[in-house]
Structure 1
Amino acid sequence: MKTPQASLMGVGVASPRGGLGQDAAIELALQRCTSDERQQAWLRRVYRHTRVQRRGSVLLRPGEGAEGFENFFPPPLSAQDRGPTTATRLQRYAKEAGPLAERACREALRNSQVEPHEITHLVTVTCTGLVAPGLDSELPERLGLSADIGRLNLGFMGCHGALNGMRAASGLVRELPEARVLLCCVELCSLHFQYGWDPQKIVANGLFADGAGAAILGPADSQAQGWQLIEAQSRIAQHSSNAMTWSVGDHGFEMTLSSEVPKLIRASLGEWMQSWLARHDMSVRDVAHWAIHPGGPDILQAVTQALSLPEQADAVSREVLAEHGNMSSPTVLFVLERLRAQAACGPCVMLGFGPGLAFEGVLLA
């Protein structure tokens, strides 16, 4: 196995304080996305198939019910009504993203026992908001980081953004051995809820939620407790450019999620993973834990089938999906945080999938 590139010093996560059960989410979607009984029956099936039981949203307040969602996304006035403009949605992003990201970062700092003034670099990841100055300027002020901190913002990468962020953070640590890098991912997917009858967008409505995750990476240390980052790798699946897309529309950011995604994973993931692990004198059987981004139940099933994993290999990912929904980039950090809380040890592979279709992996040991 190669020399570690960085130590994973701490992880922290945060979800909005207000949430919505799936039954309530179904009722809200029915009013905004369907026009007849056939469409309503299909939407109910899709939402229940996601296996999401509850999701957080910055639009909701504790004990408020669905009022905040309904106020921001009022019932359509006509069949052509597509809800708030993108500008209105991004204004709400600018208000809500910072406080949620701050909570995740403070948790990561606490778990790592690193003081804010020790952080030398900040890597921010988001694909649900576009604003400048953004999180890379807001978080130093909120957290008391140095005004001289190095900043790197990774935008619009989608669900595998945290893994790209870990690659960037480990590169900074390799270049500067004294570096302490704070990685923060925050996504407010609920701000991009889509109106109208479009099956692919309804699938996204049924899956996605809000959340933030953070991690602190420092110099590799053979004596350190916990996981070391060994290597990050990526692969773009062939002939997959339209399998998953994420684009800016007039009424929010719009996702397409083809039913071909699980097939592409089954066709390509196994060979890529085997060749990658072989470079470390490992096989799939040598991996003790899998932190798989829970893009949806079909994606999790495709991963376990492609890699012939044991039945419980994706159990933590399924728990996170059920309790939080798919929060895009921070979701895999929720899985990793839960594994760390269980005192998991031994090699761990983090996996994420995003527009492309791109595979991203991080090997921890």
Structure 2
Amino acid sequence: MDYTLETSQLKEKLLKTIYSLQLKSFATLQTASPLLSSQPSMGMVTQHQVHQLEDKAKSLCGDLDNIKNLLHYCQDNLVRQIPNPTGSRYGGVRGIHCSPDGSIYLTAENAPWVHVLSSTGHTLQALPCQQRGKGTFLPEDVTVTRTGMVAVADMVNEAIWAFNPHTSLSKREWIKIRKVGSPRGIGVDSMGKILVADYAQGQVHSFALDHAFKTLQVHSVPDLQGPRYVSPAPSGGFVVSEECGDAKVFTSSHKLLCSLSSKYGHQFGNPAGVCVDRDGSILVADEQRRTVHLFPEHGAPVCLVSMGLRRPAGMACSAFGNLFVADTGENCVKVFKYCVRSPYNPTNPGGHPNQTPRRGGRMAPLQPS
């Protein structure tokens, strides 16, 4: 059978199935609602049947969420590789941050720089990591605050450094803003606070930073198992990867919201980079399994990258729908396109939702089975 014809028939079958479910559930609702409202009893419907229907509905809703997610995302769609701007002299790429304007901030193993790149990988600026008269330091991970200050984690010196690139050249310098036991990952939450994953201490620290580089509102979340990377969470809190095989989500009040392994029944190997995309889904790179999985609000995890990674480390999502993975093993940043855009806006479709594409691109209305 012609592949295009087979695919078109499969699309039509899927849309008809969903449409039939829509019609049946709506018809049942129209019948049941007035009857349940007008009579005191449940008629001949038993408690067991209600529970059975509830379980089946949950399962079906889960299946529909999974279908929607699998239609929305694509796998292993590598669109670009960005080489390490420092070359191979110092070590592989490690930390990465993607700003709303598309610029990329990158750190590498044993390299005393933060490189600022365009979204296509061209070097825009190299920020040397050195304090006047006191030598260089090695940034482990990098982030950018709401005010545009660059902040890095420095494991060797057990410190967090900040740099304001908007001041005059004569005043530009790195300021040590806080001493931290073993900082690996760094990020900024939705409230503008800096988040630091303290590896050896098993903590995530959060604090505000004022214009004078003074830290305020310091808070620490303890009892983590080797925290590595940290990112703001959809709930307003943060998500942190643990080297010992899990990723956990905390609320804005620093309470544990969930463990991704428990909530989704997912088995991690060695979680590394974490980030949250524009839809609020959490993405986690697995260094051991060499994969990237997306954890949606509804539905099962989706494997976005199943091949082509050697040693994924830091990770970031752009505002334009791309995924940037720092692959330390191949010393480059790999850019994946993982979202499939809908042909119409679901809030204003410009056409009837109960339609399927005809062969040749036109739309034909569906009929109930």
Smaller-chain TM-score bracket: under 0.3
> Which structure has the greater CA radius of gyration?
2
Query: Larger % of helix: which?
Result: 1
Query: Larger % of strand: which?
Result: 2
